[in-house]
């Protein structure tokens, strides 16, 4: 896919969201369009209609069939080599399970990294161009009939009976979840979760039913970020076989399990985060009061899931029914139906997050008559559009935008390039709007990182606290003397500490603190005669420390780290070295598990500020603490620090009260 074509698809997606046309077509008209689009597969679709037209008792099932077929145009499955690689990986993992019920954790999944890498290499050799197969052109009558019959069985369950037919069609009936392979799934999922009827007792609350099913998913399903390398959702068979996947697959597993048992659920999507790259998927369940309650399949139950660690600019609900059919007939006629979800999205941002409108005043003639305005967020490398606004009376209006983000308003020229129409806009948590315009006045700043620590990574800075460095002249450390105790918390960068009373030692060691997962990236020891190079010696450790972990601690690679499976695996264990003779120790060094984004003095950095594009300020100067200093930086500017030596995570920030504030 070319860059220009990719941009046009994104803009088409956002345009249809913004248009918000009322539906112009009846279900019969949409059915006729679907039949035309299906081509040679039309007999299969008509067979479903004929099947339910034989008896009056099937009149509601006939309406359900018209609903599914009428809204089928545009739904698709990914094909090509990539899904085959995913399936091969899942089959390998599933075949390695000790028991059918064993749940893999992150450590067990790591055992299969080599297999994954091998499959990926083969995938590249086979040129994995992905094709898109539209449902209407391939789906069988048998699959649709089975889906409808089982969906009606599910509708008869106590917690589903209250659903109106329209709700049933939207949240229980659909034969597919997203873009997964078309497969029979209802019989096996209904069988697997049939215990729910007994577990619910006299309750008919769909929220409780959802929680009970999710409790089971939490026992058997595990998150695996390997799956992010595929754009497709896993199919129901692969989900049951592998019992793992990315967040989209967590939602998929929940969808199949819940809908098989008549629990009304939907897929909720954040196409892009505002404060990092990528996006996110989760689910919502429809309560009897008509309100949707968010949850995360196999992880967080209803009422227990909130978006708190990242900022969502927009949240969309993905439904099976076409939400905008204004150009459906024309697109089918011209064969321009695209394989994306632009027709199936509802903006539900204000149902999940705090939002506010953004209005930007424009100068007369600043945008052309036919221009369309968009808000972009920064994805760690570039500005990406997330929402199309409305032009009205020389104002660009953007509705219901997520708080706590920086947005860049742009138009796109005929070549697909972005053209800013305003400086970046900061929308804070109090709904206050600030234009990030660089001032002529400058200030000196000190930078410690190029990318923020996430909430998970923040936990790493506490794990080495209370770790102890010791020196001894007996190999059993019976004469050990304490050199240094690490304080709390631990800055995730290289730390060198001078020993207050330097003495000669032959044996040196680091004692892991309790309940630390053994977490560390590197330790080192220094003497005044080594020109700042760490001392070398014969590595040694206590009995429980793995030889591979011992090597990691002294390999000089700050990106390798020790991290044990259990919290207490290395309680009071130690690693160290025999220098062969007594040497006066003047310094010790250490760095905890880290993400490589702290400032390092051996890296090549360049600072930029935004003024219609990124303007370079230069490379800066390292101070005595290993931080990066700049003497003249425009006040009020949006900033970006790039590392040209290594890494890819870069995040925009402002400089306020002498600290970096990340956006």
pLDDT computed for residue 662 by the predictor: 96
Predicted local distance difference test score (pLDDT) of residue 130? 60
Same domain, 44 and 126: yes
Long-range contacts of 137-142 (CB under 8 A, 24+ apart): 137/37, 137/38, 137/39, 137/40, 137/41, 138/41, 138/77, 138/182, 139/41, 139/44, 139/45, 139/72, 139/175, 139/182, 140/44, 141/44, 141/45, 141/47, 141/48, 141/51
- Decide: 524 and 629 in contact? Cβ < 8 Å: no
For residue 547, being part of any structural domain is answered with: yes
Radius of gyration of the chain from its Cα atoms, rounded to whole angstroms: 29
In the DSSP assignment, the letter for residue 449 is B
Question: Does residue 113 register a pLDDT over 70?
Answer: no
Which domain-ending residue is among 591, 620, 637? 591
CB proximity list for 309: less than 8 A, separation 6 or greater? 454, 455
Q: Is residue 279 part of a domain?
A: no
Mean pLDDT of the chain: 90
Give the span between the Cα atoms of 607 and 399, in whole angstroms.
33
CA 85 distance to own-chain centroid: 21
Residues 85 and 220 occupy one common structural domain: yes
What is the pLDDT, as a whole number, of residue 129?
45
Distance CA 208, CA 302 (A): 9
Residue 10 has pLDDT above 80, yes or no: no
Over residues 123-152, the mean pLDDT reads 84
Measured distance CA(149)–CA(278) in Å, rounded? 38
Average pLDDT over residues 541-562: 94
Considering only CA atoms, which of 569, 553, 411 is closest in space to residue 469? 553
| pLDDT over 80 (residue 543) | yes
CATH number of the structural domain spanning residue 404: 2.60.40
In the listed set 571, 591, 611, which residue is the last one of a domain according to the structure? Answer: 591
Residues 86 and 380: their CA atoms lie apart, in Å, by 27
Residues contacting residue 289 through CB under 8 Å, at least 6 positions apart: none
Check if the beta carbon of residue 570 is closer than 8 Å to that of residue 516: yes
Contact of 523 with 589, CB cutoff 8 Å? yes
Cα distance between the two ends of the chain: 30
Asked if 578 and 622 sit in the same domain, the reply is no
Confidence of residue 103 (pLDDT cuts 50, 70, 90): low
Whether 118 and 175 share a structural domain: yes
* pTM to 2 decimal places: 0.85
Q: Are residues 28 and 48 in the same domain?
A: yes
Q: What is d(CA 626, CA 391) in angstroms, rounded to the nearest whole number?
A: 48
Residue 296 pLDDT greater than 60, yes or no: yes
Query: Which of 236, 262, 288 is a domain's end point?
Result: 262
Average pLDDT over residues 195-214: 97
**Angle between helix 206-220 and helix 247-260 axes, rounded to 10 deg:** 130
Residue 104 is predicted with a pLDDT of 55
Report yes or no on 294 lying in a domain. no
Average pLDDT over residues 414-421: 87
pLDDT at 228 over 80: no
Question: Into how many domains does the chain fold?
Answer: 4
pLDDT of 370 reads 80
**Strand ranges for 42-197 from DSSP E:** 76-78, 132-134
Asked whether the predicted pLDDT for residue 304 surpasses 60, the reply is yes
Measured in whole angstroms, the distance separating CA 311 from the mean position of its chain's CA atoms is 12
524 CB contacts (<8 Å, ≥6 apart)?
A: 534, 535, 554, 588, 589, 590
CA dist., res. 516 & res. 489, Å (int): 13
611 & 486 share domain: no
Q: For the residues 158-176, what does the mean pLDDT come to?
A: 98
Separation of CA 245 from chain center: 12
Same domain, residue pair 546 and 512: yes
Residue 511, pLDDT > 70, answer: yes
Predicted local distance difference test score (pLDDT) of residue 98 = 55
- pLDDT of residue 128 exceeding 70: no
Q: pLDDT at position 21, please?
A: 42
- Same domain flag for 36 and 110: yes
Same domain, 430 and 405: yes
Q: Are residues 468 and 428 in the same domain?
A: no
Q: What is the pLDDT, as a whole number, of residue 124?
A: 56
Range of the domain at 135: 20-262
Query: Looking at the predicted structure, is the pLDDT value of residue 67 above 80?
Result: yes
pLDDT tens sequence across 340-369:
788 999 999 999 999 999 999 999 888 887
**Residues 401 and 479 reside in one and the same domain:** no
Cis peptide before 489 (omega within 30 of 0): yes
Query: Is residue 363 located within the same domain as residue 258?
Result: no
Per the domain annotation, does 276 fall within a domain?
no
Contact by Cβ (8 Å): 223, 246: yes
Residue 323 lies in a domain: no
């Amino acid at each position: 896919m070319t860059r220009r074509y990719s941009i046009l698809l994104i803009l088409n997606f956002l345009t249809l969201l913004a248009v918000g046309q009322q539906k112009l077509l009846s279900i019969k008209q949409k059915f006729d369009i679907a039949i035309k689009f299906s081509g040679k597969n039309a007999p299969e679709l008509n067979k479903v209609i004929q099947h339910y037209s034989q008896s009056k008792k099937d009149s509601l099932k006939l309406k359900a069939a018209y609903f599914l077929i009428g809204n089928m145009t545009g739904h698709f499955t990914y094909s090509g080599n990539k899904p085959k690689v995913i399936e091969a990986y899942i089959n390998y993992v599933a075949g390695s399970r000790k028991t059918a019920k064993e749940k893999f954790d992150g450590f067990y999944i790591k055992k299969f990294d080599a297999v994954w890498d091998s499959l990926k290499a083969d995938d590249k050799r086979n040129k994995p161009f992905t094709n898109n197969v539209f449902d209407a052109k391939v789906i069988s009558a048998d699959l649709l009939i089975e889906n409808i019959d089982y969906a009606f069985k599910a509708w008869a369950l106590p917690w589903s009976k209250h659903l109106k037919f329209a709700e049933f069609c939207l949240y229980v009936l659909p034969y597919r979840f997203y873009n997964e392979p078309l497969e029979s799934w209802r019989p096996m999922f209904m069988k697997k979760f049939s215990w729910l009827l007994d577990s619910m007792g006299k309750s008919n609350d769909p929220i409780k039913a959802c929680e009970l099913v999710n409790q089971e998913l939490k026992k058997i399903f595990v998150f695996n970020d390997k799956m992010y390398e595929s754009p497709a959702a896993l199919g129901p068979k692969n989900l049951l076989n592998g019992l793992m996947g990315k967040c989209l697959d967590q939602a998929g597993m929940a969808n199949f399990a819940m809908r098989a048992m008549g629990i009304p659920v939907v897929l909720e999507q954040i196409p892009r985060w505002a404060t990092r790259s990528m996006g996110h998927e989760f689910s919502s369940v429809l309560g009897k009061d008509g309100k949707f309650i968010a949850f995360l399949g196999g992880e967080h139950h209803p009422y227990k899931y909130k978006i708190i660690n990242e900022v969502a600019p927009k949240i969309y609900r993905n439904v099976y029914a076409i939400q905008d059919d204004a150009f459906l007939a024309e697109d089918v006629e011209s064969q321009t139906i695209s394989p994306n979800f632009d027709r199936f999205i509802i903006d539900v941002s204000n149902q999940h997050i705090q939002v506010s409108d953004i209005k930007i005043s424009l100068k007369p003639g600043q945008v052309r008559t036919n221009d369309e305005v968009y808000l972009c967020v920064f994805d760690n490398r570039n500005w990406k559009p997330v929402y199309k606004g409305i032009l009205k009376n020389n104002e660009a209006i953007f509705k219901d935008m997520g708080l706590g983000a920086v947005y860049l308003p742009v138009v796109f020229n005929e070549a697909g390039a972005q053209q800013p129409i305003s400086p970046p806009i900061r929308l804070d948590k109090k709904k206050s709007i600030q234009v990030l315009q660089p001032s002529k006045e400058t200030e000196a700043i000190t930078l410690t990182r190029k990318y923020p620590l996430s909430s998970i990574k923040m936990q790493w800075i506490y794990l080495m606290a209370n770790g102890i460095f010791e020196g001894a002249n007996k190999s059993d450390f019976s004469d050990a003397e304490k050199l240094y105790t690490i304080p709390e918390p631990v800055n995730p960068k290289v730390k060198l500490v001078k020993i207050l009373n330097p003495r000669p030692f032959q044996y040196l060691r680091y004692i892991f603190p309790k309940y630390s997962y053994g977490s560390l990236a590197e330790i080192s020891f220094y003497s005044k005669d080594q020109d700042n190079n760490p001392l070398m010696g014969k590595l040694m450790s206590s009995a429980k420390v793995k030889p591979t972990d011992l090597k990691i601690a002294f390999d000089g690679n700050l990106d390798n780290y020790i991290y044990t499976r259990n919290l207490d695996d290395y309680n009071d264990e130690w690693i160290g070295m025999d220098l062969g003779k007594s040497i006066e120790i003047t310094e010790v060094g250490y760095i905890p598990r880290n993400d490589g984004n702290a400032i390092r003095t051996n890296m090549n950095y360049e600072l930029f500020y935004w003024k219609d594009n990124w303007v370079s300020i230069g490379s800066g100067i390292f101070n005595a603490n290993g931080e990066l200093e700049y003497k003249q930086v425009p006040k009020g500017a949006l900033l970006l620090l790039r590392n040209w030596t290594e890494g890819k995570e870069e995040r925009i920030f402002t400089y306020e009260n002498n600290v970096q504030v990340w956006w």
